[in-house]
Amino acid sequence: MFSFCLRFWKVVVSIFLCVLMEVLFLKVFCDGPEAWSLGFQDVGDPVVEEIVFFHDQVLILLIIIVAVVLWFIAEAIENKYYDRQLVDGTFLEIVWTIFPAIILIFIALPSLKLLYLMDEVVAPVLTIKVVGHQWYWSYEYSDYEGETLGFDSYMVPTSDLVSGGSRLLEVDQKLLIPVQTHTRFLVTGADVLHSFAVPSLGLKIDAVPGRLNQTGVFIKRPGVFFGQCSEICGANHSFMPIVVKGVSIKEYVQYLDFLRNEG
């Protein structure tokens, strides 16, 4: 009995250490990609926060399951005449049938909720049209009294990067969006298939020529969020970065005036 309790507490300590390592080393949040980062980028959308929280729950659950299964395997290998109640019997078969079913239900319910939230576009205040080209992005603001304010966004070449810039991720013109505003993206392609993806905002939608796909975002805080085309769209596929900047309403209005003057 003493050896059984000792082995049980070893499993508990192992689980605790695994969870502690996950919290300390994987949760290195940042607004953009960082070298040697193993966790998610710092998110700016409420739905993505829920996705990250759901990921953490499932990861901890998986650590517990793996630890328990490894303990059973170790018991079977270590003891030639092990307790048959650990691996045999009607009660045990009922337990290891019901428990996995309950675990799957706890995983399925929040995942279905998140799938619904990701697909829902809440009454947008602002609509932005995104067009993928080989190999750059075009953005259009068309909600302002019939006028269309648009621009093309190209990657900044490595030779032109300023100190502190991110290689292959910086663009000459960022997409500015006001924070605390429900924004809808209408995404299409001008030539071939592209994919508009910004992980920290939960954006990933195909840009299909001849078709408009829509998705929504709600940026909670100011910040700069990086993404890239996630579809293999040709030779320069890896040179189509996306930079979304969350700004205040005042800065956004000033930016619209700038686009009008430029046009």
Verify that 109 and 132 share a domain, yes or no.
no
Quick check: 90 pLDDT over 50? yes
Verify that 234 and 107 share a domain, yes or no.
no
The predicted structure's pLDDT at residue 2: 44
Domains in the chain: how many in total? 2
Verify that 164 and 60 share a domain, yes or no.
no
Q: Tell me the CATH number at 240.
A: 2.60.40.420
d(CA 221, CA 241): 21
d(CA 157, CA 175): 18
**Is 1 inside a domain boundary?**
no
Categorize the per-residue pLDDT at 26 as very low, low, confident or very high, splitting at 50, 70 and 90: very low
Question: Tens digits of per-residue pLDDT, 97-119?
Answer: 888 888 888 888 888 888 888 87
Verify that 256 and 150 share a domain, yes or no.
yes
- Residue ranges making up the domain that contains 51: 38-79+89-120
Verify that 108 and 143 share a domain, yes or no.
no
Verify that 133 and 257 share a domain, yes or no.
yes
**Is 110 inside a domain boundary?**
yes
Find, among 224, 222, 248, 114, the residue nearest to 169 by Cα: 224
Proportion of the chain above pLDDT 70, given as a percent: 81
**Is 28 inside a domain boundary?**
no
Categorize the per-residue pLDDT at 189 as very low, low, confident or very high, splitting at 50, 70 and 90: very high
CB atoms within 10 A of CB 239: 15
Evaluated on CA atoms 192, 206, 246, 180, the torsion sign reads positive
Across the range 167-183, mean pLDDT stands at: 90
**Is 14 inside a domain boundary?**
no
Verify that 142 and 255 share a domain, yes or no.
yes
d(CA 73, CA 66): 11
The predicted structure's pLDDT at residue 208: 93
Q: Tell me the CATH number at 115.
A: 1.10.287.90
Verify that 227 and 141 share a domain, yes or no.
yes
Residue of 74 and 11 predicted with greater confidence: 74
Quick check: 88 pLDDT over 80? no
| Across 13-27, 61-75, 207-221, least confident range | 13-27
The pTM of the full predicted model, rounded to 2 decimals, is 0.75
Verify that 68 and 160 share a domain, yes or no.
no
Question: Tens digits of per-residue pLDDT, 133-173?
Answer: 988 999 998 877 767 888 999 999 888 888 777 888 889 89
**Is 9 inside a domain boundary?**
no
Across the range 108-131, mean pLDDT stands at: 86
Find, among 184, 244, 246, the residue nearest to 219 by Cα: 246
The predicted structure's pLDDT at residue 194: 93
**Is 5 inside a domain boundary?**
no
d(CA 81, CA 79): 5
**Is 24 inside a domain boundary?**
no
Verify that 112 and 236 share a domain, yes or no.
no
| Across 5-9, 125-129, 159-163, least confident range | 5-9
Quick check: 11 pLDDT over 80? no
The predicted structure's pLDDT at residue 193: 92
**Is 16 inside a domain boundary?**
no
Verify that 130 and 112 share a domain, yes or no.
no
Verify that 107 and 234 share a domain, yes or no.
no
